[in-house]
Amino acid sequence: MDYRIIDGSDNMKIEDIVRLLRMTYWANERPEEKIKKSIQNSSCYGIVLEEADKLVGFARVISDYATTYYICDVIVDPEYRNMGFGCALLSHIESMPDYAWLRGFLITRDAQDFYRKFGFEVVNDRIMVKAP
């Protein structure tokens, strides 16, 4: 499947982002107003299937661009999981020069094996950190 990675929420529809976040255990009840505000205050990335022009993956990054970045709200539509879209999205984020020499962190309940592929290490049962 052909896809493209989108940088910036201006290139995504809020309803598509909300649809994806409703599929998660952490944001399924997050009010749309909070979703909009979180998007406005983050760097957002998406994966779009070319043929269907459908957003199938999303992630946000919060950063001070000097010391730390925080990866959050990473979601791939369950219908499109295990097809490499999550890896493509995280690889894109991790290749961004803005985050290259910063400490990364994230919180996950069940995706530690996925994030280990990108150099993140478990600090406790849910927090993962990547050294600069």
pTM reported for the whole predicted model: 0.94
Which of 44, 27, 54, 51 shows the shortest CA–CA distance to 92? Answer: 44
Q: Give the torsion sign (CA, 56, 117, 95, 84).
A: negative
Into which CATH architecture does domain 3-100 fall?
3-Layer(aba) Sandwich (3.40)
Place 125 in a pLDDT band, splitting at 50, 70 and 90.
Answer: confident
Which residue type, as a one-letter code, is found at position 30?
A: R
Give the residue, 125 or 116, on which the prediction is more confident.
116
Beta-bridge mates of residue 86: none
Residue 109, SS3 per DSSP: coil
Sheet with 103-107: strands ordered across: 3-7, 43-49, 54-63, 68-76, 103-107, 127-130, 121-122
- Residue-wise pLDDT for 38-65, tens only, equals 999 999 999 999 988 899 999 999 999 9
> Greater confidence, 125 or 45?
45
